[in-house]
Amino acid sequence: MKGSERRQLTRYNLRTPLRFRAVGLSSDKTEHFTEALNVSRGGFYFVSSAALQIGMPIEATLRMPGEVTGRDAEETRCTARVVHVRNEPYGDGRIGFGAEIEEFGTRLPLGAVNVQADRHAN
């Protein structure tokens, strides 16, 4: 998705549970639990202590709110790519990441992702 297209999608400042893991040959395969701080149909922004870099693919499961889906909230699996890194750490040392959704996967029944924000992802 081009930058101009990405900016046209409405971004919602809603915290929603997020579970993700980096994919790729040299990636740490650890599953991380946190929350997205804002979401749109094209991507999401989240904080984590995971060692992610721009261009890195991730697999994620997150609760897409009704404002984004246009119907009831649903938990969705997707593949995404890190497109932005906020280099100034938050107070707890976590870094902010922007991810662009590349492909939507399975929609899951609401409640399938019972995620508690983890301050120190492993």
The predicted structure's pLDDT at residue 57:
94
- Per-chain mean pLDDT for the chain: 81
Number of domains in the chain: 1
| Any domain includes 50 | yes
> What is the rounded average pLDDT of the residues 63-86?
87
CATH number at residue 49: 2.40.10.220
| Any domain includes 116 | no
| Any domain includes 13 | yes
| Any domain includes 79 | yes
Confidence of residue 98 (pLDDT cuts 50, 70, 90): very high
> What tokens were used for 94?
């976590």
DSSP summary character for residue 14: -
Report d(CA 94, CA 84) in Å as an integer: 14
The predicted structure's pLDDT at residue 70:
79
Per residue in 53-73, pLDDT (tens digit) is 999 999 999 988 888 777 888
Q: What are phi and psi of 41, to 5 degrees?
A: -65, -20
Instruction: Kindly write down the DSSP assignment for every residue of 61-119, as one continuous string.
Output: EEEE-HHHHSSS-EEEEEEEEEEEEE-S--TTS-EEEEEEEEEEEEEE-TTS------S
Per residue in 35-46, pLDDT (tens digit) is 999 999 899 999
Range of the domain at 7: 3-108
pTM, entire model: 0.78
Cα distances from 82 to residues 57, 65, 67, 108, in angstroms, run 6, 21, 23, 23
| Any domain includes 36 | yes
- pLDDT(78) > 80: yes
| Any domain includes 34 | yes
Confidence of residue 32 (pLDDT cuts 50, 70, 90): very high
The predicted structure's pLDDT at residue 75:
87
| Any domain includes 59 | yes
| Any domain includes 69 | yes
The dihedral over CA atoms of 13, 14, 19, 21, expressed in degrees to the nearest 10, equals: 0
